[in-house]
Chain A
Amino acid sequence: MNGVKTAENAPLLEVRDLEQRFDVSGSLIDRLRFSGGRVSAPRRIVHAVNGVSLSIRRGEVLGIVGESGCGKSTLAKTIVKLNEPTAGQILIDGEDITHHDFTQMRPVRRKMQMIFQDPYASLNPRQKVRDIIMEPYLESQGGSVPDRTERALALLEKVGLGTEHLDRYPHQFSGGQRQRIGIARSLSVQPDLIIADEPVSALDVSIQAQILNLLMDLKDEFGFSYLFITHDLSVVRHISDRIGVMYLGFMVETGPTGTIFSAPKHPYTRALLAAAPQLGTKLGPATEQLGGEVPSAIDLPRGCPFRQRCPLAFARCAEERPVLVPVGGGQSVACHLHEPAIAEPAA
């Protein structure tokens, strides 16, 4: 992004032009196509993340919002190296971890933890909760820890669970309780950075408030940073310093939270904010704010990824893909309507 870097405030996490693709072609038989009298076997590639750059400073919260399936979880998993990135660079504290293997990642995991979107799938069904939540800690300590139970209990209490839950297995918990187990586990090593993928989506609003307050306290006390993925606009507004809006694997707008909410520029961001449900109002008929087909990450459209649904699309949008350019006040937008007069291509 637009980064004038000085040594003293080098970002904790820096991601440059990250790309993540998945080959979903399947077997050759599945791929066979007949068209125009010819046989072909095209490969099908999901373009999940397309050249995303971002940076997070110490003690900063970057919120990521965007349509379901737009690549948020993939971005998160690639950053913690659960996927091998197709292209681009990932730096933690200045260290390039783009090609680190599992063992090389061990010290990095002490600095960076992830809370998974799907809590059940990410918890080992055969492990008791006390072992699950202590796992990252034990890995970093290399085994024996005398005050294990106390530590485990302290973590559980932080997320609103108690002694009675220590010896249960994941299937014995409700959805929201499982999600909190995932949160407790990520806190066990006191990481610098938490990549949180929908961490409060299964929680009732009171426990959600408790967890969000906890995350903010940790930030104030220990300078934790977060990459916080959520579809809940009131949550992202509350917790983030800056927000990044994704669409179809592209970052289409970034900026300070206040600016994104008060002066959103990208047509997708505007449509998204307009669709936020309001307490105490009935669901109206479809307003067709966002008409058109959701495009597919398999066949990326030419030009602007949003153009099939954009109410403002014009000829150029079908030809040329807009790039993220700064528009002042720390805000950047990828839309042909918001290019500064003398457009500078984004670095």
Chain B
Amino acid sequence: MTESSMPRPGNVTTPLLSVKGLRTWFHTFGGIVKAVDGVSFDVAPGEIMGLVGESGGGKSMIGFSIMGLIDPPGRVEAGSIEFGGRDLARLGEDEMRSIRGKEIAMIFQDPMTALNPLYTIGNQIEETLALHTTLSARERREKAIEMLHKVGIPQPEQRLHHYPHQFSGGMRQRVVIAIAMIARPRLLIADEPTTALDVTIQAQLLRLMRQQVEESGTSLILITHDLAAVSQMADTIVVLYCGRIVERGPAGDIIARPRHPYTRGLIDSIPHETDIDGAKRRLSQIPGNVPDIRKLPPGCAFAPRCPRASGLCRMQDPVLSEREGTGDGQGPRRLHATACHHPLTVSP
């Protein structure tokens, strides 16, 4: 584990989800892909946790691990996933099936993999309801129409009869969101839920999710590369790089005062208005590429790309260590943790 296992005094709310030392590896011919490699975090009831990080960094695989959907050659090698008193990593498929969709639902990144091309959208929403509720057929239909309406699909009565390929990318994404939210799960894992949506509908759906969090106390793990969206929504942010947490803390703190050089690099890569004229056209990017995760160098995985790297970084793994967040001092859950030997200091 790269995690410091300090006790957290004064932490009264029991987390709904507590992931400890999770390792999800894929055993391929070319070597072991350590997609998730020692990840720990807690999510409290009604908390929104943003999960950001590099493409291929292991965000979706964390979600899949929680859902018990890792297929061979992948495997949860180590760690625990405590959810409402049970360790999901140790449950059998039958037990997982009764939790999935009802207590924990996931909005999958790729809507087409979540939708069956052979059934109408209406069939698919009603099936979820039939599985998890005792509503009558007529009530299910009404509920389906109401939910499609809530996610902003025009003429839902007619659209119920359409097949997935007859929807636009963003409409499919909204259908998947409707299906995931309809059974009012206790934990919602939303994997890039709004990437295919324009900003007005994105705002509408983010509000809908937040409303469910506020009204039903649902916890939300929001996986996204959209830092603006995550900063709008999340209480805490977790930043992943090469399957490990490199930074974790209160959302406002992470965005305004990132400590890890990777997080800093991400924030600097967002296109800004100021690079429109004159020197336009070249965006700041983090130099180099993500290393082959089957053959990570010793020491810090970010060292080959890091402007602050030292000899120490190339030898020794930095450990995620917690420090008081500078922002809202809301107790120990709000600590700002960084895995870096030479973290950025807060500039005055």
Could you list which residues of chain A lie within 8 angstroms of chain B, going by C-beta atoms? 22, 24, 26, 30, 44, 46, 65-69, 73-74, 117-121, 157, 160, 162-164, 168, 172-177, 180, 198, 201-210, 212-213, 216, 231, 233-235, 237-238, 257-258, 271-272, 275-283, 285-286, 289-290, 293-299
Q: Provide the bound-state CA to CA distance between A175 and B173, in Å.
A: 14
Q: Which residue of A is nearest B60, CB measured? A: A174
Q: A238 and B154: CB pair below 8 A?
A: no
Residues of B within 8 A of A174 (CB): 55-57, 59-60
Q: B228 and A279: CB pair below 8 A?
A: yes
Q: B266 and A205: CB pair below 8 A?
A: yes
Write 9 A-B pairs (CB below 8 A) sorted by A numbering: A30-B161, A68-B168, A118-B111, A119-B110, A212-B271, A277-B202, A280-B255, A296-B154, A298-B155
Interface residues of B in 165-180 (CB under 8 A from A): 166-171, 174
Could you list which residues of chain B lie within 8 angstroms of chain A, going by C-beta atoms? 26, 28, 30, 52-57, 59-60, 109-113, 152, 154-155, 158, 161-162, 166-171, 174, 191-192, 195-204, 206-207, 210, 225-229, 231-233, 252, 255-256, 265-267, 269-273, 275-277, 280-286, 289-290, 292, 294
Q: A177 and B200: CB pair below 8 A?
A: no
Residues of B within 8 A of A207 (CB): 54-55
Q: Provide the bound-state CA to CA distance between A175 and B113, in Å.
A: 12
Residues of A within 8 A of B28 (CB): 168, 172
Residue from the list B196, B232, B275 in contact with A277, Cβ < 8 A:
B232
Q: B231 and A280: CB pair below 8 A?
A: yes
Residues of B within 8 A of A289 (CB): 200
Residue from the list B55, B170, B270, B283 in contact with A213, Cβ < 8 A:
B283
Q: A67 and B55: CB pair below 8 A?
A: no
Given contacts A206-B269, A283-B206, contact A201 B276 (CB under 8 A): no
Residue from the list A69, A176, A286 in contact with B168, Cβ < 8 A:
A69
Residues of A within 8 A of B294 (CB): 164
Q: A238 and B271: CB pair below 8 A?
A: yes
Q: Provide the bound-state CA to CA distance between A277 and B207, in Å.
A: 13
Q: Provide the bound-state CA to CA distance between A296 and B119, in Å.
A: 22
Residues of B within 8 A of A277 (CB): 199, 202-203, 226, 228-229, 232
Chain B's nearest CB lies how many Å from the CB of A237? 6
User: Apart from A174-B59, A177-B56, A280-B231, what 14 extra A-B contacts exist at CB < 8 Å?
Assistant: A66-B198, A68-B197, A119-B110, A164-B292, A174-B57, A202-B55, A204-B55, A205-B225, A209-B271, A276-B199, A279-B231, A285-B207, A289-B200, A296-B158
Q: Which residue of B is nearest A119, CB measured? A: B110
Q: Provide the bound-state CA to CA distance between A100 and B228, in Å.
A: 43
Residues of B within 8 A of A258 (CB): 276-277
Q: Which residue of A is nearest B293, CB measured? A: A164
Q: A120 and B266: CB pair below 8 A?
A: no
Residue from the list B30, B54, B152, B203 in contact with A204, Cβ < 8 A:
B54
Given contacts A213-B282, A275-B199, contact A204 B155 (CB under 8 A): no
Residues of B within 8 A of A297 (CB): 154
Q: A275 and B229: CB pair below 8 A?
A: no
The residue in A121, A206, A213 that gathers the most chain B C-beta atoms within 10 A of its C-beta is A206
Q: Provide the bound-state CA to CA distance between A180 and B273, in Å.
A: 25
Q: Provide the bound-state CA to CA distance between A212 and B281, in Å.
A: 9
Residues of A within 8 A of B154 (CB): 69, 293-297
Residues of B within 8 A of A67 (CB): 198, 200-201
Q: B232 and A283: CB pair below 8 A?
A: yes
Q: B270 and A68: CB pair below 8 A?
A: no
Q: Which residue of A is nearest B113, CB measured? A: A120
Q: B166 and A233: CB pair below 8 A?
A: no
Given contacts A206-B265, A238-B276, contact A198 B196 (CB under 8 A): yes
Q: Provide the bound-state CA to CA distance between A152 and B52, in Å.
A: 30
Q: B256 and A280: CB pair below 8 A?
A: yes
The residue in A69, A119, A176, A275 that gathers the most chain B C-beta atoms within 10 A of its C-beta is A69
Q: Which residue of A is nearest B210, CB measured? A: A283
Q: A175 and B109: CB pair below 8 A?
A: yes
Q: Which residue of B is nearest A258, CB measured? A: B276
Residues of A within 8 A of B195 (CB): 198, 201-202
Q: A275 and B228: CB pair below 8 A?
A: no
Q: A205 and B227: CB pair below 8 A?
A: yes
The residue in B28, B200, B228, B266 that gathers the most chain A C-beta atoms within 10 A of its C-beta is B200
Q: A204 and B231: CB pair below 8 A?
A: no
Chain A's nearest CB lies how many Å from the CB of B220? 13
Chain B's nearest CB lies how many Å from the CB of A185? 17
Q: Provide the bound-state CA to CA distance between A65 and B201, in Å.
A: 13
Q: Which residue of A is nearest B262, CB measured? A: A206
Q: Provide the bound-state CA to CA distance between A271 and B109, in Å.
A: 27
Q: Which residue of B is nearest A161, CB measured? A: B289
Chain A's nearest CB lies how many Å from the CB of B297? 14
Chain B's nearest CB lies how many Å from the CB of A297? 8
Q: Provide the bound-state CA to CA distance between A210 and B60, in Å.
A: 22
Q: B271 and A235: CB pair below 8 A?
A: yes
Q: Provide the bound-state CA to CA distance between A174 and B207, in Å.
A: 27
Q: A175 and B161: CB pair below 8 A?
A: no
Residue from the list A65, A175, A231 in contact with B55, Cβ < 8 A:
A175
Residue from the list A117, A176, A204, A213 in contact with B266, Cβ < 8 A:
A204
Residues of B within 8 A of A204 (CB): 52-55, 57, 225, 266
Q: Which residue of B is nearest A74, CB measured? A: B168
Q: Provide the bound-state CA to CA distance between A237 and B161, in Å.
A: 38
Residues of A within 8 A of B200 (CB): 67, 271-272, 275, 289-290
Q: A283 and B233: CB pair below 8 A?
A: yes
Q: Which residue of A is nearest B272, CB measured? A: A234
Chain A's nearest CB lies how many Å from the CB of B89? 21
The residue in B26, B57, B203 that gathers the most chain A C-beta atoms within 10 A of its C-beta is B203
Q: B199 and A210: CB pair below 8 A?
A: no
Chain A's nearest CB lies how many Å from the CB of B239? 10
Q: A208 and B232: CB pair below 8 A?
A: no
Given contacts A206-B286, A210-B285, contact A44 B232 (CB under 8 A): no
